[in-house]
Amino acid sequence: MRLLQKTYVWSVCLEPLLFLIWMDYIYGSNLGVSRTLQLVVIFCIFIRFIVNGFKIRSFNIFEPRYQYYSYFWFFSVFSALFGVLYGSYSLPSIPINETMFMSVYRPIIEYIINIYYFGYFVVLARFMLTDSQIIDYFFKVFSALFYFSLIIGLIDLIFVYFIPEYMGIHRHLRGSLGVGLRFHGFAGEPRDAFVYLWLGIGVLFLKDIWRNERKLTKKTLIVIIFAMAMTQSASGLFGVVFSCGLLLVYFFPRVSFHSKVKIIILIISLLVFIYIVMMNSGRIANYANGFLHLYTNLSNGNDVGGNIRSSLNNIYPVWQRLQEAMNFNFLPSLIGTGLGTSSVVNNLYFLQSNVVMNPNANIIRMFFDIGIIGLLLLNKAFIYPIDRLNISKEMRLKLLFVSLFVVGAYYGHRSVAPFLFLGIILVAMENKFPLSLNKD
């Protein structure tokens, strides 16, 4: 069992290191070192069930840890039923049998992925990280991998800057090109690295709480923030904006006036940080300039050119919802049309018929697929379990503060980060403070 627990730890800690992907996408998923270890863990658990006569330790999907994610998932199924009636899973004039992958198979995979992320990284963590020794092992492995990726990524930047012929670390083992003068370490794409860096801050902060130490210093934070800036990730910057919004909605009302002032100063500082990064990144500045004429071009049916063209898969779903709202049809924006429908609408605008074309920005993907109500439930799924922790208010607010940045980064670009972080928060707090989870 201890070997299985350690295998689980490595399968979780390696998940954000997308450099280790060695097989092309299969039904929207990929296979690398982490996913291989996850398959091993799941297989071993299945074998244990057979040996033990299928004795499964039960859990309640509506207890505080899982309550709102269960609500979110069931609501997303309701959104899909509405989407089917609304015609959001089909393309006009194209028979459904010609779009089966996009209209049927891929949406089903989306629902399975959403169950899997929460099940493996939150629920299973409770049964695998069962004592202080294995939790300490988790923090040791995660910290080593995170710092290794950070240091090698920064060295890689230096080599790319000074050696023109050097192409940099590849995105993945399967042979993709480097990313130029942009930080990404072993996290895959720079936008993936941005989310991983926020996750690293969160886990290192939690590690300090767990071990009663202060290893996450200001100098370390400055280095990590510099790496974030060097990702030059537009989705990452949007993620920071989303985090600011989450802070105002979910954190600001809970703190004292003095802390409110600090939050306002922090948000202003972050917005200034975003502006500075934009002004010093020609790539992001070109995106910003493209938005100036975007509405006019879309309204007149003009061709959208420049760098922003590569982001049309994020723009068309928003444009679709805007067109519906202008016709006083607000229901799709409220409840969504089901997971996978943002890919369908992109196929409609790009004149494709059977291709997965999900938005890169997860906030747009979720807004289109599950609507405003679904988004509120998803937010609550990551916040409510922390609210229910029976620990000091100060510690609870600190955990919530860091979590909102991880969730904001997740909305910028989809990742397992908030699931992984929530899972380790719950097991660490439950083991450090045995009565920490209030189940009333």
Confirm whether 53 is domain-assigned: no
Instruction: Name the nearest CA neighbour of 78 among 373, 409, 413, 434.
Output: 373
pLDDT tens-digit map of 76-87: 999 999 999 998
Distance separating alpha carbons of residues 344 and 362, to the nearest angstrom: 15
> What are the φ/ψ torsions at residue 331 (nearest 5 degrees)?
-60, -45
- Please report, rounded to a whole number, the percentage of residues in the chain having pLDDT higher than 70: 91
Confirm whether 298 is domain-assigned: yes
Quickly state the pLDDT bin for 56 (edges 50, 70, 90): low
Query: CA 40, 429, 214, 137: dihedral to nearest 10 degrees?
Result: -20
Give the chain's mean pLDDT: 88
Confirm whether 15 is domain-assigned: no
Residue 296: Cβ within 10 Å count? 9
Confirm whether 229 is domain-assigned: yes
Please give the pLDDT value at position 326: 92
pLDDT at 438 over 70: no
> What are the φ/ψ torsions at residue 21 (nearest 5 degrees)?
-80, 130
Confirm whether 251 is domain-assigned: yes
Confirm whether 41 is domain-assigned: no
Mean pLDDT score, 18-26: 73
Comparing 281 with 181, the larger pLDDT belongs to 181
Classify residue 258 by burial, with Cβ atoms within 10 Å: 0-12, 13-18, 19+. Answer: exposed
The upper half-sphere exposure of residue 263, i.e. CA atoms within 13 Å in the direction of its Cβ, equals 24
Q: What are the C-alpha distances in Å from 153 to residues 62, 146, 221, 230, 335? A: 41, 10, 16, 10, 41
Please give the pLDDT value at position 53: 63
Tally of structural domains, the chain? 1
> What are the φ/ψ torsions at residue 301 (nearest 5 degrees)?
70, 20
**In the block, which residue shows the tokens 């409220």?**
334
Residue 78 makes CB contacts below 8 A (sequence gap 6+) with 335
- Please report, rounded to a whole number, the percentage of residues in the chain having pLDDT higher than 90: 62
pLDDT tens-digit map of 184-215: 999 989 999 999 999 999 999 999 999 999 99
Residue 372 makes CB contacts below 8 A (sequence gap 6+) with 333, 334
Q: Which of 16-30, 247-261, 352-366 has the highest mean pLDDT?
A: 247-261
Distance separating alpha carbons of residues 439 and 177, to the nearest angstrom: 49
Residue 361 makes CB contacts below 8 A (sequence gap 6+) with 235, 238, 314, 411, 412, 413
Would you say 217 and 342 are in contact if contact means Cβ atoms under 8 Å apart?
Answer: no
Would you say 79 and 335 are in contact if contact means Cβ atoms under 8 Å apart?
Answer: yes
Please give the pLDDT value at position 300: 72
Q: What are the C-alpha distances in Å from 132 to residues 135, 212, 248, 395? A: 5, 14, 35, 19
Would you say 105 and 410 are in contact if contact means Cβ atoms under 8 Å apart?
Answer: no
The pTM (predicted TM-score) of the whole model is 0.92
Please give the pLDDT value at position 440: 43
Mean pLDDT score, 264-279: 87
How many residues does this entry show for the chain?
440
Confirm whether 2 is domain-assigned: no
Please give the pLDDT value at position 220: 95
pLDDT at 380 over 70: yes
Confirm whether 34 is domain-assigned: no
pLDDT tens-digit map of 328-358: 999 999 999 999 999 999 988 888 777 888 8
Full residue range of the structural domain in which residue 426 is found: 61-432
The rounded radius of gyration (Å) of the Cα atoms in the chain is 22
What DSSP character marks residue 97?
G
